[in-house]
Structures are given as structure tokens and as C-alpha cells.
Amino acid sequence: MALGFFDGVHLGHQSLLKKTKRIAEKDNLKFTVMTFDPHPNDVIKLEKDWRYLTPLALKIERLAAIGVDKLFVIKFNLSFASLLPSDFIKQYVLGLQAKHIVVGFDFTFGNKAQGTADYLQKMSKNNPFDVTVISKQVHNDEKISSTLIRKIVRDGDVHLVPYYMGHHFQIKGVVYSSNRHKHEKKKNMEIYTGNKYILPAPGVYSVEIKNRNRTCHGLFIRYGSSRRNDEISGQIIEMLKGGVVEEVTVKFLKQIHFESESQCSSNFKEVMK
């Protein structure tokens, strides 16, 4: 069983999960994962507007794609956060009959994060489970972490994300094509992503848009204002008829930078036609 929050299911997480899968196959065990929801910062630091690289539904999709046999999603609340590390092991390791635990080198658990990878290894000596600890994964001498990737996205440097996640940053959103837009022949439509996803800095982004059966390239206009919804354009969007609501997946390829303010203004107007 792999333990972790796994926001983004980035390359560091993937290394840990693949190791867990290999151990499970070798020992003829189920490949299981335990994760938590919501983020501990949401509960402990009361950061109620916490944004995710992969909200829970998308994280579940990513874990399923890796081949997880069974997933435990533990509700992270104050009661869970206050568990003694020894009680965590009793309930969630021994209680689930886990035979082999796999964690990252910096994994912590239990009251005030007193439980560590070293503590797990120590406890395994007198209990019927083994522990494997995955070392730090780096790129350009930087630790691959969800915190770092969130900063990269927030800064608008979405072209760097594949070096840390193994693929482009993507979100799911709902596009609504209103009759007003249809009459105006407007090619850009508003996109609603809810309040769970982290989103890149304001600007214009080259994106890949996918719905159930089509994929195309387009533009994502990020306003970053509570008074104006973000907009998206592309062939799929242009095909929507008035009143249609459709979920799309948006893959961010790169931010489009303009050489001068006047070029930015003229190009932005062209984008918005």
C-alpha cells in the first residue's frame, strides 16, 4: 500500500507508485493506495480556498490509469489529524492488513506530523509489515514536489510542467454556449472550472481542448478577475450550438508572450474576435 496525498500524481509520485506496483506483483498482493481529502492545509491551517493540481476526481482517474487495484480515500479532519502515530498504524496499516507500506522520504502522519518514514521502519520490526522508503526525486537539482509545480503553474510557466509531472498540466471545465454568443458569432466561450483547480497567471495560453470524441488546439484567455470569467476558443468550442453545456479537458501547452504592449493589445483583440 502506497501512502500519500499525491496531488498532481507527478513524477515523484509515479516513481513511488510504480515501485509499489512492482512489490505487489512480486509478492502476489493487491496494489493499493491510501490518500486523503481534503488537503491538510484546508483543515489545519484553515486555507479554505486551497486549490489542487488534481482535485479528487481527477486524482482517482490518474491512479486508476496507473493500475491501482484498491484505493482508500480517508477524510482528513481534525479527529484524523490528531491521531497518535501508533494509533494510525493500528487502524490504517494493521487494521487493513497491509503487508508492505511504501512512502516518500518526507512522508509524515499523525498528531503534529510526529509519524515519519523512519518511525514506520522502526515499527515494522515488531509488526507483520515491511516498509520501503522512496528517495527524493529531482529535476535541475530541485525536488519534484506538488508545491513547486503549483508555483510553476501560478507563474504561468506551464511549458515547464511536463518536466515535473511527466505530462502537461490540464484541467476539466464546463463550456456554456449562450444564444447571445451565437448571434454575435463570437468564437470565444466562457469556461467554468469550479473553485478546486489551481489556475495559471492571467494571460493568453496555447491549449489542447478535448471533449468526448474530438481534440483540437485553441486558446485559453485567463483574466484572473472575479468580475470576468475565463474564456476559451477552438474548433470544438465554435461547433457548440446555443444553449449547449459541455465538459472539456484543457491541456496547457505554453503561455503566449507578446513582444510589445501594442502587439499584445492588437493580438489580444484578434484573439477576442
pLDDT tens digit sequence for 184-230: 555 788 899 877 999 999 999 999 999 888 999 999 999 987 778 89
Tally: H helices and E strands in the chain:
11, 15
pLDDT tens digit sequence for 120-134: 999 999 999 999 999
Backbone angles phi, psi at 103, to 5 degrees: -140, 160
Q: Calculate ∠ Cα 111-198-192, nearest 5°.
A: 130
The whole model's pTM is what? 0.88
Residue 273: per-residue pLDDT? 47
Which of 178, 181, 221 shows the shortest CA–CA distance to 202?
221
- Strands in 130-134's sheet, in edge-to-edge order, are 70-75, 32-37, 2-3, 100-104, 130-134
Cell of 68: 491501482
Q: How far apart are CA 32 and CA 101, in angstroms?
A: 10
Considering the domain delimited by 2-143, tell me its CATH architecture.
Answer: 3-Layer(aba) Sandwich (3.40)
Backbone angles phi, psi at 74, to 5 degrees: -95, 130
Q: How far apart are CA 136 and CA 127, in angstroms?
A: 26
The residues of the chain that CATH labels 2.40.30.30 are 168-272
Out of 47-51, 147-151, 210-214, pick the least confident: 47-51
Considering the domain delimited by 168-272, tell me its CATH architecture.
Answer: Beta Barrel (2.40)
The residues of the chain that CATH labels 3.40.50.620 are 2-143
Are 148 and 222 a contacting pair, CB within 8 Å?
Answer: no
Q: How many CB atoms lie within 10 A of CB 23?
A: 19
Which of 92, 103, 73 shows the shortest CA–CA distance to 3?
103
pLDDT band (50, 70, 90) for residue 28: very high
- Name the β-bridge partners of 33: 2, 71
Start-to-end CA span in the chain (Å) = 52
248 three-class SS = strand
